[in-house]
Amino acid sequence: MFLEKGALYIVATPIGNLADMSQRAIDVLSHATLIAAEDTRRTGQLLKHFNINTACLAVHEHNERDICERLIGRLMNDESIALVSDAGTPLLSDPGFHLVRAAQEAGIRVIPIPGPSALVTALSAAGLPTDHFCFEGFLSSKAGVRHKQLESRKTVSETLIYYEAPHRILSTLETMLDVFGANRPMVLAREMTKTFETFLRGTIGEVLQRVRDDSNQQKGEMVILLHGAPTPDAAEVDPQTERFLRVLLEELPVKQAARLAARISGKKKNILYKRALEIQGRSGVAGLAGDKEQEPGH
């Protein structure tokens, strides 16, 4: 494989299952002059698995700013450098931002090698709305700051996505219960692509109780996904109408379910239509007249 001289490659690596490593990522890591790795020991295990012998240099949150100038110098000397994190796509709650910005400012080409990402993997299988979402990364380890961070997102209507460490999962879920209430829908994605991959779906109260009851659910790499706050239109749908609408959606297309619920409840069908789309995790941009949905199963 031919690598562009003097280019910085941003290489995504598996978040668990090594079979998710792309051939392009293997080729870039094999032919790069240097691999800038968050943890050389962890990356070393990955390289050994794929018989890659490229030299590694540690680039992490504690030394990235200091080492940038040296790496930029090597890039300006026509060396090709591949940046990797411990797992997934670099820069997403991982080091690399300062290096990428410095490279761009120096006129160096930055080339992404796409692949696994924990937040996208979790979102794709969570069953929460995906048309708009907000990735928040890791919350503060300090309880008071963490509470304020969550409080500031209380009215955000987009799906909220957080990474969390296993030793903080219980305290974080308890804070979420305090801030968002017990009934906010959520998903806890754990150990994705690994042997004990688990998706816990339910309300915050339900998921918290399951994590409390099962210590195994307090282990591993975790992504928390929270349903966004109800929109003003959704707030107009009373609990009884919402329950009825959800039952109808199990059997009928969105348009028919909304019309029938409106006829029985007396609520405006446009409001119920938007709420039905939110329940199914779809965008509410299209109007009733433009709804071309297929029957379930197509």
Is residue 120 within 8 Å of residue 161, measured between CB atoms?
no
Residue located via tokens 């792309």: 22
Note the pLDDT of residue 14: 98
Distance of CA 67 to the CA centre of its chain: 29
Is pLDDT above 90 for 220? yes
Note the pLDDT of residue 192: 97
User: Which has the minimum average pLDDT: 5-14, 21-30, 258-267?
Assistant: 258-267
Note the pLDDT of residue 234: 59
Is pLDDT above 60 for 289? no
Q: How far are the Cα atoms of 34, 38, 98, 111, 297 from residue 75, in angstroms, in the given order?
A: 10, 18, 15, 13, 51
Q: How many residues does the chain have?
A: 298
Is pLDDT above 70 for 60? yes
User: What is the average pLDDT across 41-60?
Assistant: 97
- Average per-residue pLDDT for the chain: 90
User: What is the average pLDDT across 121-135?
Assistant: 93
Is pLDDT above 80 for 282? no
- Confidence class of residue 199 from pLDDT cuts 50, 70 and 90? very high
Is pLDDT above 60 for 131? yes
Amino acid identity at 146: R
Note the pLDDT of residue 270: 86
pLDDT tens-digit profile of 66-104? 999 999 999 999 999 999 999 999 999 999 999 999 999
User: What is the average pLDDT across 233-246?
Assistant: 78
CA atoms within a 13 Å half-sphere pointing along the CA-CB vector of 57? 16
Structure tokens at 193: 């692509």
Note the pLDDT of residue 294: 37
Note the pLDDT of residue 53: 97
- Confidence class of residue 281 from pLDDT cuts 50, 70 and 90? low
- Confidence class of residue 278 from pLDDT cuts 50, 70 and 90? confident
CA Rg, the chain, in Å?
A: 23
- Confidence class of residue 64 from pLDDT cuts 50, 70 and 90? very high
- Confidence class of residue 233 from pLDDT cuts 50, 70 and 90? low
- Select, from the ranges 2-11, 235-244, 282-291, the one with the highest average predicted confidence (pLDDT): 2-11
Mapping DSSP onto H, E and C, the string for the chain reads CCCCCCCEEEECECCCCHHHCCHHHHHHHHHCCEEEECCHHHHHHHHHHCCCCCCEEECCCCCHHHHHHHHHHHHHCCCCEEEECCCECCCCCCCCHHHHHHHHHCCCCEEEECCCCHHHHHHHHHCCCCCCEEEEEECCCCHHHHHHHHHCCCCCCCEEEEEECHHHHHHHHHHHHHHHCCCCEEEEEECCCCCCCEEEEEEHHHHHHHHHHCHHHHCCCEEEEECCCCCHHHHCCCHHHHHHHHHHHCCCCHHHHHHHHHHHHCCCHHHHHHHHHHHCCCCCCCCCCCCCCCCCCC
Note the pLDDT of residue 235: 60
Q: What is the largest CA-CA distance in the chain?
A: 72
